[in-house]
Chains A and B, each alone.
Chain A
């Protein structure tokens, strides 16, 4: 396509991109699968929401591009984009009527087409509605683009929270109706499948009002807090920390069995992520065999505690230190041969290490000791006195304690001398050495610490499941953990938690996502690279790097002011 044309009419290019995405979302079956869940009863389903959000986002981008050419272009670009997207879906529907596409695209079913034309009996009426929707989406996106920043944020926050509450209705409704006071309210909000219309409007108004209040008052509040004397500010921080800890402690009691189970899974990933964050995020060593240490922790606990093998009869607490110790040793053993490797070579070598461990535990030769493909079962639960960590709600506390410990250690390490050495090695190994940093010890300590944390989570994983199997430790675990820290923000500890919730927690909550998990991962990673390469909750250094261009612009402006030659 003529580049000048797409420059002039950004709506065309973005509309085509958006159209392809929408057709793709439909053809891979996401729209239909997600359609069982209504976001707002009898009005809009999750499948339609998916299409709608994509379309609005693309149209908004088009509107933003159009802004350079004046107000008319804002509407022009985004309505063009909206219409093109709707047009491409129309083509899909028409094509589906004319020929049977299901030979190739098994998801191109009549049900899908019915969804796309708003369940209209009349094909042409439906198509008319679809095109109208496209134009409306473009129009609203343009309006959104022209609104002042704060108002836009208020509206998007409101809409997103409606979508979010609708999405998570299965989880929210039972929790709310547990409280007898709220039972009537719950019925009002969730009459059946999805939010009621009045409920959705009410929710939108409440959230939008809160968000507006924050836009106007938040700034003042923040400056007021900043103006506090350090002592009372420290007190405030402490109080916030205490409140957060309390919430974390009562959470499983409030949220019930299913959500607690999800939280234990997320928690395990946070533990693993914090460990890998030290290796990859702090020290910059790309380790793709990280799951090996997880396996070593799990198997150590299994071998030492399970009566099935009959070698040892330890309890969890006796086995735990040994599991961590073996993890640390394995970290060093892996570290020594790969000390000289960098970047890609390191990634491949560690990948191999992960596979070696998995194949070892799978092997028939070692079956008497490691259980082979059947794995090892009957791993006892951890217990303190008479209290057993058996249900998800109880295991949650074990994991919470682990996360708190590992989080604290990571935090102290980051600001330590060792943490600075890791940072130097991450930035430039050769210069780090010239600064007097001992490479060998610094790298080995990174591998060992990360491995120890991984083994700790492996140990908890073994007692949580009660059994270990080789297939639990495949390379996908390493990749998932790496995704968690990339999405959360390399080197950032809160980022690990955010990444784990987004990539591990949400797919667990939304069963529909399970089938598309990898697709969603891929899309999330790409979206992150494009929109927020520093991660959801970035570490300060990384954020600086990725906004370097802006800094450079600012710097050169500064330099113009001050005289003096520059190379």
Chain B
């Protein structure tokens, strides 16, 4: 049984049909990426998965359990946690307070403490800055904080919305390196990216989303070799 299974989902913004019969699967411990151009519906896909948007038809299941009718906070409690697009950290709270906010659903304070330490080992830079307010961090540090904050609740599936957006190339490398490390530690990740080259390098499998429709799905290596993908998303040919 797949860890996360999205089946036949149709999501609308009023009359705009943003997701058309989209189905994807993520197995336990896998990194799966959805690549697509700006406006393809990638964020809509993640928001539908995390319950921020409700699909008109279709279903979302976590290890077989139906999440479709659950409210966003209930879905977080089930273990599906989203890192929103654009590094939305709490700018006025300190790094530590941001992380603590990430553990909102967990009442076990000892585990929260362990999780903070775990995030600090993953991102030593955040530890140095634990008393600094989020708004004064650099872009790369803010992305680390946003990811660390999501990890605080021990997610079963981590949804990442364009973590590399707007970052300098060297920082992009750092972010994808973190994703690799999380993957190695067994975290299940659904990664949405415009940066197809990097995304296909870290992922096991990939989907190509175009105008709200899944055009293709394959292993990441095969997609990276695919003629059409190379032309449209890797800027070759």
Q: Which residues of A are in contact with B by a Cβ distance under 8 Å?
A: 417, 420-421, 423-424, 427-428, 430-431, 433-439, 541-542, 544-545, 548, 551-552, 555, 559, 562, 564-567
Contacts and interface: CB of A to CB of B under 8 A. Distances in A.
Residue from B93, B105, B128 having most chain A Cβ neighbours under 10 A: B93
B140 A567 contact: yes
B204 interface: no
Contacts of A427: 90-93
Nearest to A546: B92
B143 to A, nearest CB: 9
A395 B83 CA distance: 53
B60 to A, nearest CB: 16
A541 B92 contact: yes
Contacts of A430: 52, 84, 88
Contacts of B89: 431
Contacts of B76: 434-436
Q: Which 4 A-B pairs have the closest CB atoms?
A: A436-B76, A436-B105, A567-B139, A566-B138
Contact of A551 (B77, B82, B136, B170): B136
B104 A565 contact: no
A428 B88 contact: yes
Contact of A548 (B102, B105, B135): B135
Contacts of B234: none
A473 B226 CA distance: 70
B54 interface: no
B112 interface: no
A436 B132 contact: no
Contacts of B138: 559, 566-567
A434 B84 contact: yes
B136 A435 contact: no
A424 B104 contact: yes
Nearest to B150: A434
A269 to B, nearest CB: 27
Interface size grouping (class) on chain B: 35 or more
Nearest to B174: A565
A545 B140 contact: no
Nearest to B89: A431
B149 A435 contact: yes
Interface in B26-79: 50, 52, 71-73, 76-77
5 contacts: A423-B93, A435-B104, A551-B133, A559-B138, A567-B168
A433 B72 CA distance: 7
A434 B72 contact: yes
A534 to B, nearest CB: 11
A562 B125 CA distance: 10
A427 B92 CA distance: 8
Given A420-B101, A433-B52, A435-B76, A565 B132 contact: no
Contacts of B149: 435
Nearest to A436: B76
A398 B170 CA distance: 64
A433 B82 CA distance: 10
A415 to B, nearest CB: 12
Contacts of A562: 128
A548 B167 CA distance: 22
B208 interface: no
Given A435-B104, A548-B136, A565-B171, 16 more contacts: A417-B104, A433-B73, A434-B81, A434-B83, A435-B101, A435-B105, A436-B72, A437-B73, A438-B71, A541-B93, A544-B92, A555-B132, A555-B136, A555-B137, A564-B125, A565-B170
A419 to B, nearest CB: 12
B194 interface: no
Nearest to A553: B136
Nearest to B142: A567
Interface in B94-111: 94, 100-102, 104-105
A525 to B, nearest CB: 22
Residue from B76, B100, B128, B129 having most chain A Cβ neighbours under 10 A: B76
B101 A545 contact: no
A542 B92 contact: yes
Nearest to A543: B92
B153 A552 contact: no
A174 B221 CA distance: 90
A431 B93 contact: no
Contacts of B150: 434
Contacts of B171: 565, 567
Contacts of A424: 90, 101, 104
Nearest to B102: A435
B67 to A, nearest CB: 13
A427 B97 CA distance: 12
Contacts of B102: 435
A414 to B, nearest CB: 14
Nearest to A544: B133
A437 B104 contact: yes
A451 to B, nearest CB: 24
Contacts of B125: 564
B92 A438 contact: no
B133 A548 contact: yes
B23 to A, nearest CB: 24
Contacts of B88: 428, 430-431
Nearest to B149: A435
B133 A565 contact: no
Contact of B133 (A431, A433, A439, A545): A545
Contacts of A437: 73, 104
A566 B84 contact: no
B108 to A, nearest CB: 13
Contacts of A548: 133, 135-136
A423 B93 CA distance: 9
B84 A431 contact: yes
A428 B82 CA distance: 15
A250 B214 CA distance: 75
B136 A434 contact: no
B90 A428 contact: yes
A126 B41 CA distance: 77
A566 B132 contact: no
A431 B90 contact: yes
Residue from A434, A436, A542, A566 having most chain B Cβ neighbours under 10 A: A434
A421 B101 CA distance: 8
B73 to A, nearest CB: 4
B167 A567 contact: yes
A545 B104 contact: no
Nearest to B104: A435
Nearest to B133: A544
A425 B125 CA distance: 27
B52 A545 contact: no
A438 B102 CA distance: 14
Nearest to B170: A565
B111 to A, nearest CB: 15
Contact of A545 (B77, B92, B168): B92
Nearest to A564: B125
Contacts of A421: 104
A545 B91 contact: yes
B181 to A, nearest CB: 18
Contacts of B168: 565, 567
